[in-house]
Chain A
């Protein structure tokens, strides 16, 4: 870039200099020479082809000869300069360095909570969508340019910054803002290569130890390694799926609730039937509900737990499934080509599973379930269809490897589909953005079967066909200013009052799943429980109800109306009523205290009497 600039300066300098030497004639016929300033002015507008004319006096022919030379040389040198400037701008490396600098600058200036996602594949995209829907800023890193290019064109609800860089290099992570302790909420490593994820986790833990680190890993050794330095969350999609399959076998109702709570981002709704009255015969109703949802194809309620399961494919997925089913003492038969895998378990059937005779050899007529778990979607589909033809009472599980083949799978209608990416991104999203839900899910299996069913039918009744969602209310001045203010004035607010719908005044379409109070958990608390400062309340209900509770937590007048029954709309009357309520409460408190005191006095008196004796 220096060469054209210097050429331009030299051309201008010589042109100006020579112009001052050439003699001209002024209108009166006197000899005249340009000053340096006049010459420079002339060369400037000549070189840029503006052309104001021959200033200050018409030129002589000698001057015009020189100007002719200058015109061509200056125009050429300008073209040379502009040309090389354009080449520089279009150069890929230059552009990359500019975008990379812009990226660093925007990260430096970022003043909002954000997550870093390493690897922008299917899972990364789903996760980015989920996080931005919740209002988080997302920083995306990927080695490949192709996927990232689409980000500016995508319709995310929060800013997404992206950089094409190798995220296994710690330098990249620092540029992505890993050290911004105040705003960086967590990092998610989603590379398909376990070792790369390990590198990211190590770098994160050494650069910013407190940062929430989520990694995807499938290899056992790498998982052990990740665990050794306290990676917060390790996601193994196969393991996740196997756990849920087993959970669906043992505790179908609990699993159904868990599915509601986890799959909040999914668009497809699972219809829930309305129940008449959950309290009278909760168990039976819950059974009904579960039976009804059996009819929908994605239900897991009918996962049979006694009988033979056929597993097609003995890769990582097949192995993990077999281990989990073995632990449940479920009989399994493996179908796998013996040429592919060396350490097949005893009693395996050699073959692909796509042909009827292999399936027959595995005992398809006696089997209760079949898992098509090979790495090839076409094979899985063929297995599912063949198996259904042979035995249509079979519970089928299909593994979906490519998101694009989802349409094909919907035609095969397996009872359960392993959608690797969806499963992972849902799990990660729940873990990192809704810790209270995560905590509740851990408590869920510990509930008794009766309580689980009660909870299930309760949620089903409340949401009545809509998709249940969960939300959290922290009783503090940030999340719930109205409630905090009211409690600080010594009023009591019960859970029931919080759940009351402010429009109708009746119980709203929501229930409380859990209250966390100073480290102690209260699962499905009684509705008369009093709210206290710094409680964390996890609610579940319809989407519209979540908006109503938000009104109540933020609007003191609405809350007064609802809770303290101060129904005046004129501010003065409202204020007077408030005073009245305060008086009544104060009197009640004083009375209670007096009674307390009297009790104490009595007890001290009796003690004195006892001592005297």
Chain B
């Protein structure tokens, strides 16, 4: 067992699950989506990206790319949230729907990361 690999897998899966936790629920219902979950998903996503930096394998490059995609999409969602809530306004339904759909895109990218991670692990086992 390799500690580094455990840590990496931990962060990739955590990023995926946090993202999923934010995404799940009614698409336009503000009460179903927690801003802190989004925040955590971004932070964990960035850490996972940095952990994959410098990996020269083909699979590693794809994991890095998908992590980058998910971070970028989540940051866009966060910025939208920030703009919508400035000066104490509450978020309207259409903005909420687009924020959640961005996080849905990030979820797909995170899912790809997890799939690649599992593939890589199964390849090295054999």
**Residues B43-72 near A (CB distance < 8 A):** 43, 46-47, 50-51, 53-54
Question: How many pairs of A and B residues are in contact by the CB < 8 Å rule?
Answer: 29
Q: Which residues of chain A come closer than 8 Å to B76, judged between CB atoms?
A: none
Q: Which residues of chain A come closer than 8 Å to B82, judged between CB atoms?
A: 35-37
Tell me how far the C-beta of A93 lies from the nearest C-beta in chain B, rounded to whole angstroms.
15
Partner of B46, one of A9, A16, A17, A37: A9
Q: Say yes or no: is A5 at the interface (Cβ < 8 Å to chain B).
A: yes
Q: Is the CB of A6 within 8 A of B36?
A: no
Cα distance A16–B53 in the bound complex, in angstroms: 25
Q: Say yes or no: is A592 at the interface (Cβ < 8 Å to chain B).
A: no
Q: Is the CB of A2 within 8 A of B50?
A: yes
Given contacts A17-B36, A17-B39, A36-B35, contact A6 B47 (CB under 8 A): yes
Q: Is the CB of A13 within 8 A of B50?
A: no
Q: Say yes or no: is A584 at the interface (Cβ < 8 Å to chain B).
A: no
Interface residues as binary, A339-356 with B (CB distance below 8 Å gives 1, 0 otherwise): 000000000000000000
Interface residues on A, range: 10 to 19
Tell me how far the C-beta of A365 lies from the nearest C-beta in chain B, rounded to whole angstroms.
77
- Closest residue of chain B to A16 (Cβ to Cβ) is B39
Q: Which residues of chain B come closer than 8 Å to A37, judged between CB atoms?
A: 82
- Closest residue of chain A to B78 (Cβ to Cβ) is A36
Q: Is the CB of B47 within 8 A of A9?
A: yes
Q: Which residues of chain A come closer than 8 Å to B39, judged between CB atoms?
A: 13, 16-17, 36
Q: Say yes or no: is B85 at the interface (Cβ < 8 Å to chain A).
A: yes
Q: Which residues of chain B come closer than 8 Å to A112, judged between CB atoms?
A: none
Q: Is the CB of A2 within 8 A of B85?
A: no
Cα distance A5–B53 in the bound complex, in angstroms: 11
Q: Is the CB of A6 within 8 A of B51?
A: yes
Q: Say yes or no: is A10 at the interface (Cβ < 8 Å to chain B).
A: yes
**Residues A6-36 near B (CB distance < 8 A):** 6, 9-10, 13, 16-17, 35-36
Partner of A13, one of B43, B53, B78, B85: B43
Cα distance A35–B43 in the bound complex, in angstroms: 16
Given contacts A2-B53, A35-B85, A37-B82, contact A9 B43 (CB under 8 A): yes
Q: Which residues of chain B come closer than 8 Å to A10, judged between CB atoms?
A: 43, 47
Given contacts A17-B36, A36-B35, A36-B39, contact A6 B50 (CB under 8 A): yes
- Closest residue of chain A to B7 (Cβ to Cβ) is A6
Q: Which residues of chain A come closer than 8 Å to B51, judged between CB atoms?
A: 2, 6
Tell me how far the C-beta of A42 lies from the nearest C-beta in chain B, rounded to whole angstroms.
14
Q: Chain A CB within 10 Å — which of B36, B39, B51 has the most?
A: B39
**Residues B88-109 near A (CB distance < 8 A):** none
- Closest residue of chain A to B35 (Cβ to Cβ) is A36
Q: Which residues of chain B come closer than 8 Å to A2, judged between CB atoms?
A: 50-51, 53-54
Cα distance A9–B11 in the bound complex, in angstroms: 13
Q: Is the CB of B50 within 8 A of A9?
A: yes
Q: Which residues of chain B come closer than 8 Å to A16, judged between CB atoms?
A: 39
Partner of B50, one of A5, A35, A36: A5
Cα distance A244–B35 in the bound complex, in angstroms: 89
Cα distance A10–B82 in the bound complex, in angstroms: 21
- Closest residue of chain B to A14 (Cβ to Cβ) is B43
Interface residues as binary, B17-43 with A (CB distance below 8 Å gives 1, 0 otherwise): 000000000000000000110010001
Cα distance A157–B21 in the bound complex, in angstroms: 66
Q: Which residues of chain B come closer than 8 Å to A1, judged between CB atoms?
A: 53-54
Tell me how far the C-beta of B7 lies from the nearest C-beta in chain A, rounded to whole angstroms.
9
- Closest residue of chain A to B53 (Cβ to Cβ) is A2
Q: Which residues of chain A come closer than 8 Å to B78, judged between CB atoms?
A: 36
Cα distance A37–B86 in the bound complex, in angstroms: 10
Tell me how far the C-beta of B97 lies from the nearest C-beta in chain A, rounded to whole angstroms.
20
Tell me how far the C-beta of B70 lies from the nearest C-beta in chain A, rounded to whole angstroms.
16
Q: Which residues of chain A come closer than 8 Å to B46, judged between CB atoms?
A: 9
Q: Which residues of chain A come closer than 8 Å to B35, judged between CB atoms?
A: 36
Tell me how far the C-beta of B25 lies from the nearest C-beta in chain A, rounded to whole angstroms.
19
Tell me how far the C-beta of A34 lies from the nearest C-beta in chain B, rounded to whole angstroms.
12
Cα distance A5–B49 in the bound complex, in angstroms: 11
Q: Which residues of chain B come closer than 8 Å to A36, judged between CB atoms?
A: 35-36, 39, 78, 82
Cα distance A37–B50 in the bound complex, in angstroms: 22
Interface residues as binary, A398-441 with B (CB distance below 8 Å gives 1, 0 otherwise): 00000000000000000000000000000000000000000000
Given contacts A2-B51, A6-B47, 16 further A-B pairs with CB under 8 A are A1-B53, A1-B54, A2-B50, A5-B50, A6-B50, A9-B50, A10-B43, A10-B47, A13-B39, A13-B43, A16-B39, A17-B36, A35-B85, A36-B35, A36-B36, A37-B82
Residues of B in contact with A (beta carbons under 8 Å apart)? 35-36, 39, 43, 46-47, 50-51, 53-54, 78, 82, 85
Residues of A in contact with B (beta carbons under 8 Å apart)? 1-2, 5-6, 9-10, 13, 16-17, 35-37
What are 18 of the A-B contact pairs (CB < 8 Å)?
Answer: A2-B50, A2-B51, A2-B53, A2-B54, A5-B50, A6-B50, A9-B46, A9-B47, A9-B50, A10-B47, A13-B39, A13-B43, A16-B39, A35-B82, A35-B85, A36-B35, A36-B82, A37-B82
Kindly list the 5 A-B residue pairs having the minimum CB-CB distance in the complex, ordered from nearest: A13-B43, A37-B82, A5-B50, A36-B39, A6-B47
